Structure 1
Amino acid sequence: MHSKRQSLSVRLLGFPSSEGAELGTALAHPPRDGPSYSCLLGDSLQEPDLTIANGDDLGALAALLAWQPDATRPALVIGSAGMQFPCAHITRPLDMFQMFKLLSEMARKRAEALNDLPPPAPPHDRRRRIRLDLDITDPAEFVKMRRPQARGAVLIVDKRGALRDHVARLLAAHHVAVEWTESAAAAVRLCAETPVAVVMINTSTPGVDPYALCAEIKQQEGAERIAVVLLVNQASGYDTARARAAGVRGLLDKPMADRHLVAALKKLLSLPQ
């Protein structure tokens, strides 16, 4: 009997588009005797299982440190970082065989660590843009500056109510209301008339333009705090420019594991991890 192949989500940080595409293609075709990998899109709200950072990009290295890599959150730096990092490191020119060997070993140690300890809560975001200088601010100051999340229900826009029922079960312990509609007009009305904290739009919902719907929701008074998230099948594409112009908070890939969905919702709703 064959054991189930380990599948890991990967976030690429700071790579030029050409090198990022090359890495993505390589990760999509890994050796058969190791884990499988899927690269998260840039706006994905899903926490990665591991991160690969460009060692020649200061922003990528700052984001990597903010992610706090450890045994359960492994990371790999590619290139001349110029300093020591608490993770694996490989130089250029990139040897794909060596890279996959390192990734496989990291995946093995991660599985062992998760057997001993529960997965850690994702690090709390201080800001959308990572600072490149040394941050010596007292963390309590960031707590004071942080604006509260919008309070209210999770609204799901989908062609069927099955996802609504599933999310309601996942959040039952937190007593969060979960609503559903298949109509863009009804979604706008619900956001105007009732407290809504998060709107999740399945981009394959018939008759719904997810970007236009997000923009219409955001035009309402007080709606700037509503987090609009798109549920996207990578094969169907994601228009980053339209999403950001409309005010979309980010995306979640379909299909997604319950742990990724719950982690993202807890973060958006400011619920205890």
Structure 2
Amino acid sequence: MHEKKYPFAVRLAGFSPLEHASIAACLAQAPPAGPAYFCLLDDSLQEPDLTIASGDDVQALAALPANGMAELHPALVVGQCPAELGLPQIARPVTAEKLFMVMAALVTRRAEAMARIMASGLPFIPERRRSPRLDLDLTDPSEYIMRRKSPSCGAVLIIDKGAAFRDHVARLVATRGMGVEWTDSAPAALRLCDETPVSVVMVNTAATGIDPYQLCSAIKRQDTGARIAVVLMVSCSYPYDSARARACGVRGLLDKPIPDRALVGALQRLLSLPA
């Protein structure tokens, strides 16, 4: 019997489409004896377990310091970079042997760091930055201050074929005093968004009879729609259309099954909640 392995979420940043596809294909063929990996889509709201950035993309490198503590949020740079970031680097061309060796060491260090935090009783604090840094700390801090928003006070609305996920989310955020509602009807969802304070709408793309893109467009057309963050919950088999999602105002996606830590971290960012 084969042991089921936890797949680590990897974000690829700053690569050309060709190199992105090449590294993603390589990660999908991870050796059976080591960790398994999957690549997050660009629109994913999930915090990666590990980030791989191209050394010649300044914007991708600028986002790395936002990951915080290196052991908990490891990053790997491919190629030469213009600044010394104190991160592990591998040269191009990328070979599978070197890539998996470095990544295995990074995720091992991450697991050890998380184990130490859990043993100490300290909370795991996820990254709460809504947007990537603009550059390598060259932006006037006042610009970031202007971008800050006050915490949202509306409810989280779950649109799903059943109420089980709503109940699970409610248990996870029970100490926050946050309202969590549920419906399996698009018309009911629109009515709730129009008549009650709603801050986040989470749509299960497997919900019967609901087009998530059309629903998001309809929510955004309402007077209160601009302040509502619409998130799609997608499985690996769902044909997610990034261009259509962005055009209708979808904030991002979460891959199913959604780890509790990823779910809570996404809600903290979307609602500007303290850690």
Post-superposition shift, 1:32? 1.4
What is the identity percentage for the equivalent residue pairs of Structure 1 and Structure 2?
A: 50
The answer (yes or no) to whether the contact 2:149–2:272 under 8 Å persists in 1 is: no
Q: Tell me the equivalent position of 1:128.
A: 131
**TM-score, length basis structure 1:** 0.92
Q: Deviations over 1:122-164 (max 9, x none)?
A: 3342x6354236425346x634542334321110111111111
Q: Tell me the equivalent position of 2:255.
A: 253
Matches within 5 A, 1:226-245: 226-245=228-247
Q: Tell me the equivalent position of 1:269.
A: 271
**Aligned amino acid, residue 132 of structure 1:** D
* Structure 1 unaligned residues grouped into runs of 5+: none
Q: Answer yes or no: is 1:112 the counterpart of 2:115.
A: no
Provide the C-alpha distance between the structure 2 equivalents of 1:75 and 1:203, rounded to a whole number of angstroms.
31
**Aligned amino acid, residue 171 of structure 1:** V
Q: Deviations over 1:55-101 (max 9, x none)?
A: 12122111223333501111100011133222210010112101100
The answer (yes or no) to whether the contact 1:232–1:253 under 8 Å persists in 2 is: yes
Relative to structure 1, the CA distance from residue 57 to residue 136 in structure 2 (aligned partners, 3 Å threshold; closer, same or farther) is closer
Relative to structure 1, the CA distance from residue 6 to residue 235 in structure 2 (aligned partners, 3 Å threshold; closer, same or farther) is closer
The answer (yes or no) to whether the contact 1:69–1:86 under 8 Å persists in 2 is: no
Provide the C-alpha distance between the structure 2 equivalents of 1:183 and 1:250, rounded to a whole number of angstroms.
21
Provide the C-alpha distance between the structure 2 equivalents of 1:149 and 1:216, rounded to a whole number of angstroms.
24
**Aligned amino acid, residue 247 of structure 2:** A
**Aligned amino acid, residue 260 of structure 2:** D
Relative to structure 1, the CA distance from residue 193 to residue 137 in structure 2 (aligned partners, 3 Å threshold; closer, same or farther) is same
Post-superposition shift, 1:112? 1.3
**TM-score, length basis structure 2:** 0.91
**Aligned residue among 161, 166, 173 for 1:159:** 161
Matches within 5 A, 1:94-113: 94-113=94-113
**Aligned amino acid, residue 89 of structure 2:** H
* Structure 2 unaligned residues grouped into runs of 5+: none
**Secondary structure at 2:270 match in 1:** helix
**Aligned amino acid, residue 70 of structure 1:** A
Provide the C-alpha distance between the structure 1 equivalents of 2:206 and 2:4, rounded to a whole number of angstroms.
30
Relative to structure 1, the CA distance from residue 136 to residue 212 in structure 2 (aligned partners, 3 Å threshold; closer, same or farther) is closer
Superposition RMSD on alpha carbons, in Å?
2.1
Q: Tell me the equivalent position of 1:59.
A: 59
The answer (yes or no) to whether the contact 2:10–2:37 under 8 Å persists in 1 is: yes
Provide the C-alpha distance between the structure 1 equivalents of 2:273 and 2:163, rounded to a whole number of angstroms.
24
How many corresponding residue pairs? 271
The answer (yes or no) to whether the contact 1:71–1:110 under 8 Å persists in 2 is: yes
Q: Tell me the equivalent position of 1:41.
A: 41
